[in-house]
Amino acid sequence: MATVTVKDFQVGFPNDWCPGCGDFGILNSLHQALAGLGLKPHEVAVFGGIGCSGKTQYYVNAYDVHTLHGRVLPYATGAKLANPELTVVAVGGDGDGMAIGAGHFVNAGRSNLDLTYILHNNEVYGLTKGQASPTLPMGSQTKSLPEPTIQGSVNPLMLALASGYTWIGRGYAFDVRGLVELIQRAIRHKGLSFLEVLQPCPTYNNLHTKAWFAGKDQGGVPRVAPLDPSYDPVIEPDAGEGAVRARLGAFVVEATRGGEPIRTGVFLENLSVPDLGERLAQRLPAYRHAPPAHRVVADAKGRSNADLTPLFAEVAVS
């Protein structure tokens, strides 16, 4: 195959997102990021959760799976473990990942498997008509809500840190150039990467709109801005305890900073934790050259190689 271009990752069928949805910016960024990394479509698998954002994988020409609500990370984990050569990207909404999928989100962090999870954060359940999601700030009243929400909100970056994600970032859906770079850095990171993307939902979130993010009501002063260039997210492999503490302290300050601007960029790049594939290969040396995807499971006619007869004989009830 000649040089890969963005077109190679695009699909030729219609898209049903609402006009102006932030999902478009994320999708375009993903196309550009994958092509820019020189990956070929057959080297990439994209897994989607349930929701508007969970349709992203249909619009990427790569292997794709539409999974169950909240279960995108277990599917992605299985695929990466079976075929470590694949570049695996999981995408989903804040309802999908921070509510029903929160247990999987936390436990994926424990594994630090080498995949990338992109969370579309629009603060609402878009596909099911705009209910409050776990990231909607307390006291907010978006247009589907009869009253302002009286529940608190989850901070995805902090949850990712507490869970053990080794690369953590935040982008904005309409800052495509910045997002392409963030997605590429997330994919390049050898370990579990979490990228929160602030995503306007023009249909149901009438508070945090594209115009709001652009600061149209305050003379065009944008409400999203990159982290200060002096912010260094890296924890080196041999970082001492003091250095780690200092890094994590800086992370917490930035990730919990209230007010504006809302910062985007790489918040953490922890190089000190080996990824699960590496740890697995240490335990099972054969995993490196014979992961499950390399094993022959059927003969030329597609018949399974597994002979279950002895097993059936053993469990048979006479």
Pick 93 or 109: Cβ nearer ligand TPP: 93
Q: Buried b / exposed e across 29-56, counting CB within 10 Å, b at 16+? A: bbbbbbbbbebebeebbbbbbbbbbbbb
Query: Looking at 50, 118, 187, 224, which residue binds ligand TPP (CB under 6 A)?
Result: 50
How far, CA to CA in Å, does 74 sit from each of 63, 99, 142, 177?
Answer: 16, 15, 31, 30
Dist CA 234 CA 223 (whole Å)? 25
| DSSP structure class, residue 32 | H
Residues 280, 292: Cα–Cα separation, whole Å: 13
The site string for ligand SF4 over 204-243 (x = CB under 6 A, - otherwise) reads x---------------------------------------
d(CA 40, CA 63): 11
Q: Fill in the DSSP letter of residue 147.
A: S
Site for ligand SF4 in 85-124 (CB under 6 A): 122
The listed partner (ligand TPP, ligand SF4, none) that binds 18, CB under 5 to 8 Å by sort, is ligand SF4
Q: Is residue 51 close enough to count as binding ligand TPP by CB under 6 A?
A: yes
128 binds, options ligand SF4, ligand TPP, none, Cβ within 5 to 8 A by partner type: ligand TPP
Residue corresponding to tokens 């059936």: 312
- Kindly write out the interface string for residues 10-49 of this chain, putting x where it contacts ligand SF4 by CB under 6 A and - elsewhere: -------xx--x-x--------------------------
- Two structure tokens written together for 238: 């041999």
Q: Could you tell me if 197 and 180 are in contact, meaning their C-beta atoms sit under 8 angstroms apart? A: no
Q: How many CB atoms lie within 10 A of CB 258?
A: 6
**Residue 237 CB partners (closer than 8 Å, separation 6+):** 271, 272
Residue 83's H or E segment, with its range, is: none
- Of these partners, ligand SF4, ligand TPP, none, which one is at the site of residue 149 (CB under 5 to 8 Å by kind)? none
Closest distance between ligand TPP and the C-beta of residue 117, in Å? 13
Q: According to the binding rule CB under 6 A, does residue 213 interact with ligand TPP?
A: no
How near is the Cβ of 215 to ligand TPP at its closest, in Å? 24
Cβ–Cβ contacts within 10 Å for residue 2, how many? 5
* Residues of span 103-142 touching ligand TPP by CB under 6 A: 120, 122, 124-128, 133
User: CA-CA distance, 199 to 222, in Å (whole number)?
Assistant: 15
Binding of ligand TPP at residue 15 (CB under 6 A)? no
In the window 65-104, what residues touch ligand TPP (CB under 6 A)? 69, 92-96
251 binds, among ligand TPP, ligand SF4, none (CB under 5 to 8 A by kind): none
State the number of binding residues for ligand SF4 (CB under 6 A): 12
Query: Which residues inside 189-208 make contact with ligand SF4, applying CB under 6 A?
Result: 201-204
Site for ligand SF4 in 43-72 (CB under 6 A): 52
Tell me which residues touch ligand TPP (CB under 6 A).
50-53, 69, 92-96, 120, 122, 124-128, 133
Tell me which residues touch ligand SF4 (CB under 6 A).
17-18, 21, 23, 52, 122, 126-127, 201-204
